[in-house]
Structures are given as structure tokens and as C-alpha cells.
Amino acid sequence: MSVNLKKNHFIVTFSILLLLTPFFYYIFSIFVIINCERSKVFKYIFYPIHEIYKPDRKVFCKLSKLKKHEIVFLTDSTNLGRVDQSTKGISGYLEYFSNKKTISVDLGGGNAETFGYFFDKSPFINFSNVKYVILTLNLRSFAVTSYTAAEFLDSKDRYFSKIFYQPYKIKNLIELNKLIFNSQLLETRIINWEKEDALINNVKIEKKIKTDNNVLKIDEYFKTYMGKVDSKHPVLLSILKLKKKLDNMDIKLLVYSTPINISEAKQEFKFNNKYFVSNKSFEDRVVFNLSNIKNYFFLNNIPFLDLTFQIKNIKTFYDRDYNISSEHIDYKGRKLVADKLNQFINLIEI
């Protein structure tokens, strides 16, 4: 009799614990995500779950380290992309020139839509000292092959920040877990995305997540910069959305455009080519797009620093030997950009 009672008690206890497992998993997952690497104790207590979500690898979690920072620098690989690792990124030189504590949030293609998920009011992130959010606007982000891919390539970062700010919405955690535990979901989206051709100037462009080693520079420049930008472009709409969110937090959004290798690009279109685009018409398209971007920012009261044509020296773009269109600049170029940004901030503060 006694044995049967103990056996029944064990079965009941085990059944209850089994039924409560999803609840415990949910609670512990929320602890790990909200902790966001602030407490090392939490990391080791919930280590198995920590290894699932890897908050130490989520760029969003850098914001949890905000203390006396006045500038949040939202950027892409142009900030820290460098050959000499002893030199600083643009954000590092900006902090030095401005004497304002700066934290950089570096996210792949620097998609403004994704960055928008990183800001909201939370007792776990101290935005009180932040005066400026500086957004790096890389003109390649306007390419149809860039902003459409960011929607699924950044999906884990988007769901992670959603959970941080809205832990009560279980659906977000479910969606994040789907992406983590079923890698085929992302692979399927990439395959379907690559199947769809993109049209630029009525020319079909093959979409690829990874750059083909056999690609020509002229193909990359055409794909990256020849698309048309108007006031309804998704990138511009996402920047306005970010601005409105920051306005509600009493933080000013500043935007600057990264320098592009216009000198090399024009050389690629100097002679007859399959796109029937001359070097002048290429430059005219970039200028036209910039004009629309500037006008959009002006109408929406978004301070904009245009550095697109600031660097004419081809050698400043250090990875030009590869068949890619790149905005990566050497330390002299990064210092120049940081100095211009510092001057821009000083003008705004007058």
C-alpha cells in the first residue's frame, strides 16, 4: 500500500513538472533575453538556455551597456571594416573628436527597419543620457537586393528585441525558437528570395546572398547604385519610423551617408557596356537619388550630412582589389568621416 502511494505520488509530481516544463522554459528564456549579458551570474545559472539564444552575440544587447553615453552610433561594416586592427572605427574617432561617450551598434547591412526594433522604453536600458542617435546610411541599403534580404536575414535580431521590450507576447518567443531550431526556415526563404529576379532599369538582376567570385565590378556597381529612390522607398519610410520613435524618447536622430567609390564606379561605365549606361548617366542617377533623399529628410526635419562624394581618391577604399562595390575606407577616410560628423554635431548644438 505504502509503495503504491509513493509510486502514485511520484507519477503525479513527475506529470505536473512535465506539464509545467514549457512554462519554466518560457520564464527562463525571458530571464536570459532581458538579462542581455548584464549579469554573468544569470549567464551561468541559465547557461543551457543562454547557449540557445546567445545574447552575447546579439548587437542589440550592446544597448544594455548604456550608462553615460551621449551618442548611439547605428552602423554597418563601414564602421569597423579595416585591415589594420590597431586603428579605430568611425565611432571610435568620433568619440575622440567630440569628447562624447559613444557606443556603436554594428549590424551587417545596417538596416534602418531592424534598428527601429532596438529602441523603446525599458527599465533595463538607460537611454536617459543619450542625446543623439547617428544612423549610417549606406546607399547600397537602397538596392532591392539589400533591403528585401534584410527582412529575413535580420529576423532573429528583430524577434530578440521584440521579446526584450514585450516579454508578455509569447508569439514572438515562439517565432524566434522556430528560427533557432529549424534552420531550414531561413534556408527556404533564401532559396525563394533568390528565385525571384529583381528589375533595375528594366534589366533583370539575379539575386544572391553570397557574392559570386566571378562577378564583375560593373555588375556590382549597377546592382548597388542604379536603382531608383523616391519618397515611397521602404528604406526612407523605415528611417522616418525610427525618427518618430526616437522623438518620443527625446533623442535626436542624425543621418549621414557613407562615401562611395564614385571615381572607380565611373571608370567601370566609361566604355560601352551591356547595361548601355555611360559614366555620366551613372553619376546622374546617384545624384538624382541623393536629391530625393535630401528632400525627403528636409521635409521630415531629419538632419542629414551628405558625404557621398567626399572621397575622390580610389586608394582610400582599401578592398578595391576585389570584384565588389565597397564603401570600406582606410583609417584616414574613417577619421575624415568622424571629423565631419563632429563638425555636424557642433553646428546642430549652436
Question: Is the confidence at residue 103, as pLDDT, over 90?
Answer: yes
Question: Is the confidence at residue 40, as pLDDT, over 70?
Answer: yes
Residue 238 is placed in which grid cell? 523605415
Predicted local distance difference test score (pLDDT) of residue 234: 93
Domain map of the chain by residue range?
Answer: 1-55, 58-349
Name, of 41-45, 168-172, 249-253, 270-274, the range with top average pLDDT: 249-253
CATH class entry, domain 58-349: alpha beta
Q: What is the mean pLDDT of residues 66-91?
A: 87
Strands (E), the chain: 71-75, 102-106, 132-137, 198-200, 203-205, 252-257, 304-306
Give me the residues paired with residue 134 across strands.
73, 254
Distance CA 260, CA 257 (A): 9
Predicted local distance difference test score (pLDDT) of residue 297: 97
Q: What is the mean pLDDT of residues 130-144?
A: 93
Name, of 74-88, 135-149, 189-203, the range with top average pLDDT: 135-149
**Spatial CB neighbours of 259, under 8 Å, sequence gap ≥ 6:** 307, 308, 309, 310, 311, 316, 327, 329, 333, 337
Query: Hey, how many other C-beta atoms are within 10 angstroms of the C-beta on 247?
Result: 12
Question: Is the confidence at residue 324, as pLDDT, over 70?
Answer: no
Name, of 99-108, 220-229, 239-248, 306-315, the range with top average pLDDT: 239-248
pLDDT digits (tens, 9 = 90+) for 229-266: 999 999 999 999 999 999 999 999 999 999 998 888 88
How many residues belong to the chain? 350
**Spatial CB neighbours of 4, under 8 Å, sequence gap ≥ 6:** none
Question: Is the confidence at residue 321, as pLDDT, over 70?
Answer: no
Return the closest-CA partner of residue 342 out of 86, 94, 25: 94
